[in-house]
Amino acid sequence: MSAQTSAGLAVSDARRSRVRISIVLMLFVATTINYADRATISIAGPALSKDLGLDAVQMGYVFSAFAWSYVLAQIPGGWLLDRYGVKWVYAAAIFLWSAFTLVQGAVGFFTGATAVALLFALRLAVGLAEAPVFPANARITAAWFPAKERGMASAFFNSAQYFATVLFTPLMAWVVHHFGWHHVFTMMGALGIAFALLWTQVIHGPKDHPGMNAAERDYIERGGALLDMDGQGSARQANVGRTLKQLLANRMLLGIYVGQYCITTLTYFFLTWFPVYLVKERGLSILQAGFAAVLPALCGFVGGILGGVISDMLLRRGHSLTAARKIPIVGGMLLSMSIIGCNYVQADAVVVGLMALAFFGKGIGALGWAVVSDTSPRESGGLSGGLFNTFGNTAGITTPIAIGYIVQSTGSFNGALVFVGLNALVACFCYLVVVGEIRRVELR
């Protein structure tokens, strides 16, 4: 490259816009609201279970309701993204899940089996509406970010799951304590509906964003950004079954999918049983539990950002994409096994500290969506992300129910924490033994 060309590129880089930063900020806010709405049931859980007379197994099934429909809708949701476009499918998803969350506040007007059935149905509806979100996040990231920034961008929006707890758990616990569990759902639903309207005004693809200049478009395209936020449209979506068969037959993708299931087990413990663990096993009040959950969530958030920084730094320093993604994932999962140590300590402060260490590690290792952006076929990013999320969020079905049975049969959470820690170990095995080289899949 000549000196004149290099100088031209430097000037171009200096003048390029930074629209992609506002895009990832919107993904962060959307994901924060997304996870806060998932967590409403865990914060309301102790008071709700008392009002409705639910035991541990019944609460496990209520906790899992969201994940049943969420998992079943992943592949259809991914297809909708590829077929109808990310922006409007995403906006509709935000509006619908927020409306269903808001209506959950009305469950308190019913009693007995009717209240339980209505709550279960509304949690199913929330899961159904949220299904397209993470495949869309991955698709937007692949379209807007060059490869060397993709790990950080993915880690940033994925870390919102912890920030949601930092920001909203104390607030929701305060609302439950002072006004009752019903109002948590009303508050979060109204917030999400307002954000859905903002989304329609801010989000555009790289090819048509009014604030993006040619210098930024050239920069991200040179770095490997796909530019196309909405896939290839209906022309390439005729044979969904054949595409799914190719994705499932790929050993690398299968290892990534199973690994994500194990990683997501930790997420769903935190989203469902963790506040109940603090109240029933450790004797905290719901208000104390809400504030105690902040430190682990904050550490998970910091770990999530750090995982992206480490991955992109390794890539910039010349390490392969495979090494840059696997090193934080495996290291983070090993660290997250410290959750088992909570079984061997008595002091509440030490328990919270070990949980914080475990979720710091989980945050570092939560690079699955960066890997999806790296590996998904160009023409089927939504479908590939949907399949990835199907495997991952199957843990949302199995984890709450399994822990419910463990707690019911043993009378404690000790076995539950071992169950969660062993899943982290299996995730390490998947990435070290099964996945192999990380690369973009080409469909035949």
pLDDT in tens, 284-299: 776 777 777 778 888 8
Separation of alpha carbons 284 and 315, rounded Å: 44
Give the helix ranges, DSSP H, for 317-380: 321-336, 348-365, 368-375
DSSP for 296-323, please give it.
HHHHHHHHHHHHHHHHHHHHHTT--HHH
Distance of CA 133 to the CA centre of its chain: 9
Q: What is the pLDDT of residue 320?
A: 92
Whole-number pLDDT of residue 112: 67
Are 386 and 79 contacting, i.e. CB atoms less than 8 angstroms apart?
Answer: yes
Measured CA to CA, the distance from residue 19 to residue 304 in angstroms comes to 22
User: In the prediction, which pLDDT does 438 show?
Assistant: 92
Predicted structure pTM score: 0.71
Other CB atoms within 10 A of residue 78 CB: 33
Of all helices (H) and strands (E), which one includes residue 110? none
Distance CA 195, CA 425 (A): 38
pLDDT tens readout for residues 17-74: 888 899 999 999 999 999 888 877 777 767 777 777 767 777 777 777 887 888 888 8
- Tokens linked to 224: 């490997």
Q: Evaluate whether 403 touches 374 at the Cβ level (below 8 Å).
A: no
Of 315, 366, 314, 364, the C-alpha closest to 335 is 364
Which residues 6+ apart lie within 8 Å of 239 measured at CB? none
Q: Report pLDDT for 129.
A: 93
List of the chain residues with pLDDT < 50: 1-12, 233-238
Predicted pLDDT of residue 159: 79
Cα(162)–Cα(174) distance, rounded to whole angstroms? 18
